[in-house]
A and B are shown apart, each in its own frame.
Chain A
Amino acid sequence: AQSVSQHNHHVILSEAASLELGCNYSYGGTVNLFWYVQYPGQHLQLLLKYFSGDPLVKGIKGFEAEFIKSKFSFNLRKPSVQWSDTAEYFCAVKGNAGNMLTFGGGTRLMVKP
């Protein structure tokens, strides 16, 4: 069975600080990896995804993530956060043949102005 672990449950940063959110997964086959963001009171929106190719993927709003196969990791990064990045961030994994996403527990990011 696949599983996803996000070790940082709560992160508080000041504006302009750099961000890195950890995501580790457990899965025996080829995986597809996703980061979703949930702004307060809103639905989940896709930030970025990795299927194959360049392990460094760029998403919307200046976010990027790096897939490191040897570490089973897909950490999310942003060089300089803004107050508007305050949200819950979810890492998710899906097998190559499957449909169902398995989500991590989420990381709540608060950016202080």
Chain B
Amino acid sequence: DTAVSQTPKYLVTQMGNDKSIKCEQNLGHDTMYWYKQDSKKFLKIMFSYNNKELIINETVPNRFSPKSPDKAHLNLHINSLELGDSAVYFCASSLVGGKETQYFGPGTRLLVL
């Protein structure tokens, strides 16, 4: 069984479009995350979200917005896509707390043309 899944796996789109990436976890975790991995493999947290709190990395443009229909899902919506948004986006989940391990999804490779 897939613990953390993401769709789509690949996404190719034009500049200016709006797109969403979906993430689902079946681990019963209460916290989910979105990370961006750039072309140099550098990984950076974008959001941390549980049913009580959304924490946004201040460097994330407000074109990016997480949406959580329920505890098991955290989708990433991106408005007005730019070339610099091209990256691999990883979803992750964990139980709340510093000692908890985060489990990552397979990633969504986004290419903006």
Contacts and interface: CB of A to CB of B under 8 A. Distances in A.
Given A43-B90, A43-B107, A45-B104, A101 B99 contact: no
Interface string B86-109: 000010101011111111111100
Contact-size category for A: 20 to 34
Interface in A65-98: 88, 90, 94-98
A48 B97 CA distance: 17
A34 interface: yes
Contact-size category for B: 20 to 34
A98 B57 CA distance: 13
A18 B23 CA distance: 38
For the residues of A in contact with B, the DSSP-based class is strand
B104 A99 contact: no
Contact of B41 (A43, A88, A102): A88
Contacts of B105: 43
A2 B19 CA distance: 32
Interface centre among B31, B33, B40, B102 (most CB of A within 10 A): B102
Interface centre among B33, B43, B102 (most CB of A within 10 A): B43
A106 B88 CA distance: 15
B43 A43 contact: no
B99 A99 contact: no
Contacts of A96: 98-99
26 contacts: A30-B98, A32-B99, A36-B104, A38-B41, A43-B90, A43-B105, A43-B106, A43-B107, A44-B104, A94-B98, A95-B98, A99-B48, A99-B94, A99-B96, A99-B98, A100-B33, A100-B45, A100-B48, A100-B57, A101-B33, A101-B45, A103-B42, A103-B43, A105-B41, A105-B42, A108-B41
Interface of B: 31, 33, 40-45, 48, 50, 55, 57, 90, 92, 94, 96-107
